[in-house]
Structure 1
Amino acid sequence: MSSFMSVFASLVEHLADLLQPLLHTSATAAAIVLFTAFVRLLVHPLSRAAARGQRERAKLQPRIAELRKKHKSSPETMQKAIMELHREEKVSPLTGCLPMLFQMPAFFLLYHLFSNRSIGDEPNALLGHTLGAAPLGGRFHDALAHGGLLGEQGLVYVALFALVATVATFNYRRTKRQMAQAPTPGADAGQPVPGMAAMGKFMPLMSFFTLFTVAFVPLAAALYVVTSTTWSSIERAVLYRDMPYGAGVAAAPAL
């Protein structure tokens, strides 16, 4: 693991060296943003596949409604029939999870890289790099201890929080609008799915959970989260632009 971390640290340092003439002390932070964009480009085909899967599942809704109506007295039979329909049409309910799952290793790699004081037997030089005045290995509570919220380090986090809040608000409004247009599962059979009303209220708020992530992880990992979440918001707006509803259900915060 330490050798793998050394290779990854070297890649980040080389990319930062290329950006240093333009961005100076913020070159490493910019390298992390570019690394995140590269990961998202690699994952983009999975995101497109997830969007196609969502469209296919939307097309199945009338047939699923018929199955719910037909088997409303037997929930177990209903679930088996719905699963069989998905198998017949080769539609997987799990495709929407794949983009997030494939990003998690990159996030945790970055998290561990900027959480350890050493890489193998060598000191971790990356911890001394900064974004503005805030060290990339530092956290929000460190910034508060060095000048408070309006100090030089704190203002870096204020800017990140503002960006996250803007993206989360966009996602919140879009998800609320989509879920308002979506039919309530089971309503066609006269038996709404238990808990769906509460989930409908909770789901649009999930984007704001990114604020807590940014506050508790190292700044380098927070940059990954902010960049990836912003990318995801724009990507979803494009990929699901022709869907009246359904994309909102999958609009949980992405890494």
Structure 2
Amino acid sequence: MDIFAFPPLALLLDGAYTALLSLSHLLEPFAGAAAAALAVVLVTLLVRTCLIPVGVSQAKAEQMRARLAPRMRELQQKHGKDRERLQRETMALYRDEKASPFAGCLPLLVQAAVVGILYTLFLRPEIAGHANALLSHDLFGAPLGTSLLGAIGTGIDAATVIVWAVALLIIVVIADITRRVFPAQVPDEGPLAVPGMESTMNALHYLTAVFAVFVPLAAALYLVVTVTWTLVQRALLRRRYPLPA
């Protein structure tokens, strides 16, 4: 079933296609063949700029969770055997603190939606009944509409290898810096307090690089820009909203 056959989603996809293609045409005098790739980067920066207030809320939520951690441990020690009572007490604690346990989830949802749209735009041969002109664009010779696995399957050239190698290297380096600067916080008690959990949570930083292999290069560019932005923004906000000692 094609979910983009549903009229509202088809209209959304066509609008995104028109906007991205128009931006690419505006950038062609400056970027040439890389205009569509630059358009993806600019769209990513626009999305991330719009999400700055949500990023601030996310930093505040992280600070709040760290501040409430000792009280959460007390609740787990007191009501650990009664899951329903523990859940009620936990929600009451967040309510008393005027906080939400789901604060900071919006950036993940928005980014997933944007990646999904970019993935679709550079995957479908037709958009709203007309040929997809975005598929003719590339970045230094690497097609924007082809994933790394797809390129390997159909025959990969040197230009594509270099572009993908640089993109994946940036994602992995950013993931490693993030892992070192913001190590996983594993609770002392509770269902997550199991051997190896810290290593597992740290390994999750590298999943973006794995995911990037399966998406078109355009979506991988979005991931490159957004992981870099996220690291810089998180570092700045951590200075503004430091975690309690």
What's the CA shift string for 1:8-29, capped at 9, x where partnerless?
2221122112222221111110
Inter-partner Cα distance in structure 1 for 2:174 and 2:140? 22
Aligned match of 1:214: 212
What's the CA shift string for 1:64-85, capped at 9, x where partnerless?
3333344455454333212211
Query: Once superposed, what is the RMSD of the aligned Cα atoms?
Result: 2.2
Inter-partner Cα distance in structure 1 for 2:16 and 2:219? 14
Shift of 1:245: 7.5
Q: Which consecutive unaligned segments of at least 5 residues does structure 2 have? A: 1-8
Query: What's the TM-score once normalised by structure 1's chain length?
Result: 0.83
Aligned match of 1:193: 190
Inter-partner Cα distance in structure 2 for 1:13 and 1:74? 56
Give the 5 Å matches for 1:165-204.
Answer: 165-176=172-183, 179=184, 185=187, 187=188, 192-197=189-194, 198-204=196-202
Query: What's the TM-score once normalised by structure 2's chain length?
Result: 0.86
SS in structure 1 of the partner of residue 242 of structure 2: coil
Contact 2:147 2:213 in 1 (8 A): yes
Distance 1:109 1:83, change over 3 A: same
Give the 5 Å matches for 1:79-94.
Answer: 79-94=87-102
What's the CA shift string for 1:115-161, capped at 9, x where partnerless?
1001122110110000111111111123335664x611111101111
Inter-partner Cα distance in structure 2 for 1:245 and 1:107? 34
Inter-partner Cα distance in structure 1 for 2:244 and 2:37? 36
Inter-partner Cα distance in structure 1 for 2:243 and 2:57? 18
**More deviation, 59-68/151-160:** 59-68
Match for 1:41: what amino acid?
T
From 27, 35, 51, the equivalent of 1:27 is 35
Inter-partner Cα distance in structure 1 for 2:79 and 2:129? 64
Match for 1:222: what amino acid?
A
Inter-partner Cα distance in structure 1 for 2:236 and 2:40? 24
Aligned match of 1:16: 24
- 1:110 equivalenced with 2:125 (yes/no): no
- 1:50 equivalenced with 2:50 (yes/no): no
Aligned match of 2:230: 232
Q: Which consecutive unaligned segments of at least 5 residues does structure 1 have? A: 247-255
Match for 1:155: what amino acid?
I
What's the CA shift string for 1:90-129, capped at 9, x where partnerless?
2111112121112222221111111100112211011000
Q: For this pair of structures, how many residues does the alignment match?
A: 235
